[in-house]
Amino acid sequence: MTTLLQVTGLTKQFAEHKVVDDVHFILEDKTSTALIGPNGAGKTTTLSMLTGLLKPTAGSVRILDGDLRANIGFLPQYPQFHPWLSALEFTEMAARLNGVIAKKAKVEARKTLEFVGLGDAQHKKIATFSGGMKQRLGISQAIVHKPKLLLLDEPVSALDPVGRREVLDLLKGLQQDTTILYSTHILNDAEEMTDQLLFLQNGKLVEQGTLREVRQRFDEQKFVVEFGSEEEAKLFASPSDRVVGCYVYIEILNEEPTMKKLLHRLSVCTYTIRKVERQTASLEEIFMKVAKKA
Amino acid sequence: MRGFNILLQKEFKEAWRSWKFLWIPLVFALLGMSDPLTNYYMMDILNAVGNVPEGFEMLVPELMPVDLLQASIGQFQTIGLLVMMATFVGIISKERANGMATLFYVRPISFGAYFMSKFIVMSTVSFVSIFAGFAASVYYTSILYGTLDLGALLVSFCTYYVWLLFVIAVTLMMSASFKTVIATTCGFTVIFLGQIVDMIVGMFWTISPWKLPSYGILLARGTMEMLDYWWSVIITVVLTLIFINIGIMMMKRNASSTKI
């Protein structure tokens, strides 16, 4: 794996307030990274420094082959377009401004609009577009020149469930040959397509790693067994276990022996057993924990 | 000047589709025809309205064609410039404020190209506009009063256009530097307050961009001191170039204030 983007000591200070504070991370080529954090954590500020729009107070952003602006595609949270232009005109212009030659730009623009599902609306004026269509157009202008790095600010937050599903699928289709960095506060989305997680809080990078790594760090090491009734649960539980209603939470000290012992106990008992599972923290739970820890 | 052609196309498309190429020239044409017509029919208008006291006699000055051209330019100078500047003063600042600029600023374009594409579109609209204005004025003047010398006309037209380029440079520089409201205030101050100041205490100097519109007329009348004229033209052109450069610089500097 090669490193595409290296961010070192990135800091942005507005007056006395540090919005982004000494952030370091690396984006490997052709990976997807989710930038997660509550509102006001500094996600958008970080992204706009990566696009080069905002000058960092300190630190640097380095991309593999030199010029940042030539190698990125950027989708702002609320992309704004010139309403007088048609979708095709805008996408074609976007491609040409990034150096795609005129003839190829038109072909690429058509292909991209088809890809994002705006094939039928390509000649319509942007003024007539709905929110979901604008978001798709936003994606098409960001990818039409095939940038190495795709920066997306809350790409699906403003969409309804159907639109979100479609856009997520679109992005998954791009994952194979593009490096993607996107910010979100909707954790299910991050869970779905991500190689690396960056947790941002109050401008600081408080946690980072692959989804698996972060999980391991924050997972509760527990089995959960659901019984038919509360009495059964109480009767089954040993003193060290926690009982909540019909559920018994069993602390895992040593994975394999604990599991075997548990399965053995379950197989010989006469209670109604509804469910047995290894508890995995959802990203949301991890998020809350990280937020509390920081 | 990377991306210049493409940006120019975009600006033209936009100006065209928002009817700027139609309605601004129309305003100028109306302004241009108003003076020859109202002056010529003044007596009829007064009689029709009535209320002229008995025994009232008005001395109607004998107007030359060039006087009417001067009056028309006076109209362009107030209402015309107001319309022109108000239409274009947000062309950079508004794009920043509503976030439309973002998708352009993140691409490898040159700010010089972006600024110049706007400058050229605005100066083309202005050209068409004052052409319409002059044409309307001259048409009615020639019907009602008599013809103007073509050479004199051309000279005053070109002189007025040089002044307009100066106005455009000021407008765009302000738009690049400030938010729309402040840009409007500053732009209007420079152009209109400048005119007033030049009118009140302008007798102490003879070289200034604000004098250019009246110099065009003096030139047509053949009573112009050529040295003052040329120096005024030169200083206007130089200032225009300086303002363009400041505008490009400020556009680049304010790129980060675009709404994301």
Q: How many domains does chain B have?
A: 1
Dihedral sign from CA coordinates of B232, B86, B182, B185 = positive
CB contact under 8 A, B108 and A99: yes
Query: Closest Cα of chain A to B88: distance in Å?
Result: 16
User: Is residue A230 situated within a structural domain?
Assistant: yes
User: Is residue A207 situated within a structural domain?
Assistant: yes
Structure tokens at B94: 């508004």
Query: Closest Cα of chain A to B28: distance in Å?
Result: 25
User: Is residue A286 situated within a structural domain?
Assistant: no
Q: Are A121 and A140 in contact (CB under 8 A)?
A: no
| Closest by Cβ to A69, choosing from B9, B14, B108 | B108
CA dist., res. B172 & res. B170, Å (int) = 6
User: Is residue B164 situated within a structural domain?
Assistant: yes
Which residues in chain B touch residue A98, judged by CB atoms under 8 angstroms apart? Answer: 107-108
Looking up tokens 């939470």 gives A249
Query: Closest Cα of chain A to B161: distance in Å?
Result: 29
CB contact under 8 A, A69 and B106: yes
Name the DSSP letter for residue B106: T
CA dist., res. B112 & res. B2, Å (int) = 9
CA dist., res. A10 & res. A200, Å (int) = 13
Which residues in chain B touch residue A44, judged by CB atoms under 8 angstroms apart? Answer: 260
CA dist., res. B131 & res. B151, Å (int) = 15
Q: Provide CB contacts within 8 A for B180, sequence distance 6+.
A: B89, B90, B93, B94, B97
Indicate if A153 and A250 belong to the same structural domain. Answer: no
Looking up tokens 């100006």 gives B15
- Average per-residue pLDDT for chain B: 92
Whether A126 has its CB under 8 Å from any CB of chain B: the answer is: no
Structure tokens at B7: 């940006």
CA dist., res. A51 & res. A36, Å (int) = 18
User: Is residue B166 situated within a structural domain?
Assistant: yes
CA dist., res. B211 & res. B216, Å (int) = 9
Instruction: Give the range of the structural domain holding residue B42, as residue numbers without chain letter.
Output: 4-255
- Strand pairing of A242-244 and A247-251? antiparallel
pLDDT band at B117 (very low <50, low <70, confident <90, very high): very high
Query: Closest Cα of chain B to A96: distance in Å?
Result: 7
Q: Are A56 and A91 in contact (CB under 8 A)?
A: no
- Strand pairing of A72-75 and A149-153? parallel
Q: Which of A80, A90, A151 is the best substitution to test chain B (most B C-beta atoms within 10 A)?
A: A80
Q: Taking CA A207 as the corner, what is the angle to CA A203 and CA A212, rounded to the nearest 5 degrees?
A: 145
CA dist., res. A288 & res. B86, Å (int) = 51
pLDDT tens digits along B52-69: 777 777 777 788 888 999
Instruction: Give the range of the structural domain holding residue A103, as residue numbers without chain letter.
Output: 3-216
Give Cα A13 distance to the centre of its chain. Answer: 25
What's the pLDDT score for residue B182?
A: 96
Query: Closest Cα of chain A to B20: distance in Å?
Result: 13
pLDDT band at A264 (very low <50, low <70, confident <90, very high): confident
CB contact under 8 A, B6 and A79: no
CA dist., res. A118 & res. B203, Å (int) = 64
Region for A15 from its dihedrals, namely left if φ exceeds 0, alpha if ψ lies in -120 to 50, beta otherwise: left
pLDDT tens digits along A74-114: 999 999 999 999 999 999 999 999 989 989 999 999 999 99
pLDDT at A163 over 90: no
User: Is residue B15 situated within a structural domain?
Assistant: yes
Q: How many domains does chain A have?
A: 2
> Other C-beta atoms within 10 Å of B134: how many?
24
CA dist., res. A96 & res. A270, Å (int) = 72
Region for A50 from its dihedrals, namely left if φ exceeds 0, alpha if ψ lies in -120 to 50, beta otherwise: alpha
CB contact under 8 A, B106 and A52: yes
User: Is residue A64 situated within a structural domain?
Assistant: yes
Name the DSSP letter for residue B149: P
Q: Taking CA B192 as the corner, what is the angle to CA B150 and CA B219, rounded to the nearest 5 degrees?
A: 25
**Does the complex come out with an ipTM higher than 0.90?**
no
User: Is residue A240 situated within a structural domain?
Assistant: yes
What's the pLDDT score for residue A206?
A: 87
Whether B7 has its CB under 8 Å from any CB of chain A: the answer is: yes
CA dist., res. B200 & res. B194, Å (int) = 10
What's the pLDDT score for residue A213?
A: 82
Q: Are B105 and B38 in contact (CB under 8 A)?
A: no
CA dist., res. A181 & res. A43, Å (int) = 11
CA dist., res. A11 & res. A22, Å (int) = 5
Q: Which amino acid is at A130?
A: S
pLDDT tens digits along A22-68: 999 999 998 999 998 888 889 999 999 999 899 999 999 988 777 88
Whether B252 has its CB under 8 Å from any CB of chain A: the answer is: no
Among A69, A31, A3, residue whose Cα is nearest residue A181: A31
Indicate if A149 and A241 belong to the same structural domain. Answer: no
Residue after which a domain boundary falls, among A164, A182, A216: A216
Q: Which of B11, B19, B104, B106 is the best substitution to test chain A (most A C-beta atoms within 10 A)?
A: B106
Indicate if A195 and A268 belong to the same structural domain. Answer: no
Indicate if A159 and A62 belong to the same structural domain. Answer: yes
What residues form DSSP beta bridges with A196? A33
User: Is residue B234 situated within a structural domain?
Assistant: yes
Looking up tokens 């205490």 gives B201
Query: Can you give the CATH number for the domain in which A181 is found?
Result: 3.40.50.300
User: Is residue B260 situated within a structural domain?
Assistant: no
User: Is residue A292 situated within a structural domain?
Assistant: no
Whether B192 has its CB under 8 Å from any CB of chain A: the answer is: no
CB contact under 8 A, B108 and A53: no
User: Is residue A196 situated within a structural domain?
Assistant: yes
Dihedral sign from CA coordinates of B250, B255, B256, B259 = positive
Which residues in chain A touch residue B14, judged by CB atoms under 8 angstroms apart? Answer: 82, 84-85
Q: Are B26 and B133 in contact (CB under 8 A)?
A: no
Q: Which of B20, B104, B107, B121 is the best substitution to test chain A (most A C-beta atoms within 10 A)?
A: B107
Which residues in chain A touch residue B3, judged by CB atoms under 8 angstroms apart? Answer: 96-97
Q: How large is the average pLDDT for residues B199-207?
A: 87
CA dist., res. A48 & res. A44, Å (int) = 6
Among A181, A146, A169, A168, residue whose Cα is nearest residue A28: A181
pLDDT band at B2 (very low <50, low <70, confident <90, very high): confident
For residues A205, A210, A211, A213, the Cα torsion angle rounded to the nearest 10 degrees is -90
Structure tokens at A235: 């009767």
What's the pLDDT score for residue B178?
A: 96
pLDDT tens digits along B142-188: 999 988 889 889 999 999 999 999 999 999 999 999 999 999 999 99
Name the DSSP letter for residue A125: B
Indicate if A192 and A230 belong to the same structural domain. Answer: no
CA dist., res. B37 & res. A157, Å (int) = 61
CB contact under 8 A, B255 and A67: no
Indicate if A234 and A248 belong to the same structural domain. Answer: yes
CA dist., res. B153 & res. B142, Å (int) = 12
